[in-house]
Structure 1
């Protein structure tokens, strides 16, 4: 990293960057990753030059959106673990992760097609998320709310699978709830 990129952003630049990420997250999630960067800048109320100062390419913007999403989910997971009974925290977190993963596959695919090493880009935030999930899982298992044989790899696979399944049911909220009911019943000890 060069010295300029290590300096903290001015307050207005930090607000612009945060606004761009907020808008990009919303627009890409709702309309897909094909939305031009000019539309993102316009929706955020900044010029395209401002967008490109913060994110030199569309891929850099997509990557920043994905990193931010993971960091936000990890922070919310820690809040749930600290403020809720362990079993409830686990199931609330499971639901939140699935709901927040909407569009993730499209983001990942777009980055991979652009030659971005997605795993390397998300390594730090992904490790943080895995650590938080592991802690939450262990706490829920200690209180008997989750099957003791479930490991972190299986939990992550279930999160990915349920996320994919529920994306297919966006128009049917009752069907989405039935999926959560079935999966949660399977996660509880018998």
Structure 2
């Protein structure tokens, strides 16, 4: 990629991150291009769809959350690892307003640009859940898909101004509903 094209791409991604944090995932692509000081055609050349832009923007975060799951898997008690990862995942999804709706749709849509990243993220959480279940620290009647849905639900709470003050308490309620009193190590958060 030419240096000027890379510079434009990086600028679009930086501006898109800020714009989505401020206005949500439905922010105008035209507005992102204007704020990045590039033409809409330039933005679309790099990112032909909104999902392609979001995938490029979010992939690093997805990868970091998956790596965090790997790290926690090797260093923490199963219960603690699961709760820590859940908390990080919910905090991240709350940062980008409206991303949970896209993630929920993308997990089922194999044609979505976000599909692979969402599947990777769900698998990371599922591994931590399975590990906690194996030691009796988490209920066995839920799976990775349920966990992914709970992350989306908790993140949605953070997106709602009237409910955001309750988000931390409700996280603890959901975490305690996932966890059992058996198993080794830690508390709900």
**TM-score normalized by the length of structure 2:** 0.70
Q: Which position in structure 1 is the counterpart of 2:184?
A: none
2:123 matches 1:131: yes
Distance 1:64 1:164 in 2: 22
Q: Could you tell me which of 95, 99, 106 is aligned with 1:104?
A: 99
Q: State whether residues 33 and 106 of structure 1, in contact with CA within 8 Å, keep that contact through their aligned partners in structure 2.
A: no
- The aligned length equals 175
Please state how far the C-alpha of 1:14 moved relative to its aligned partner. 4.2
2:42 matches 1:47: no
In structure 2, do the counterparts of structure 1 residues 72 and 91 end up closer, same or farther at CA, with 3 Å as the change threshold? same
Q: Could you tell me which of 31, 36, 45 is aligned with 2:28?
A: 36
Q: What root-mean-square deviation, in Å, do the aligned CA atoms of Structure 1 and Structure 2 show? A: 3.4
Q: Which position in structure 2 is the counterpart of 1:5?
A: none
- Structure 1 residue runs without a partner (length 5+): 1-8
Greater RCO (Cα-Cα under 8 Å, separation 6 or more) = 2
Q: Which position in structure 2 is the counterpart of 1:25?
A: 17
Distance 2:117 2:51 in 1: 17
Q: State whether residues 17 and 54 of structure 1, in contact with CA within 8 Å, keep that contact through their aligned partners in structure 2.
A: yes
Q: Which position in structure 1 is the counterpart of 2:81?
A: 89
Q: Which position in structure 1 is the counterpart of 2:167?
A: 176
- Structure 2 residue runs without a partner (length 5+): 182-189
Please state how far the C-alpha of 1:138 moved relative to its aligned partner. 1.9
**TM-score normalized by the length of structure 1:** 0.69
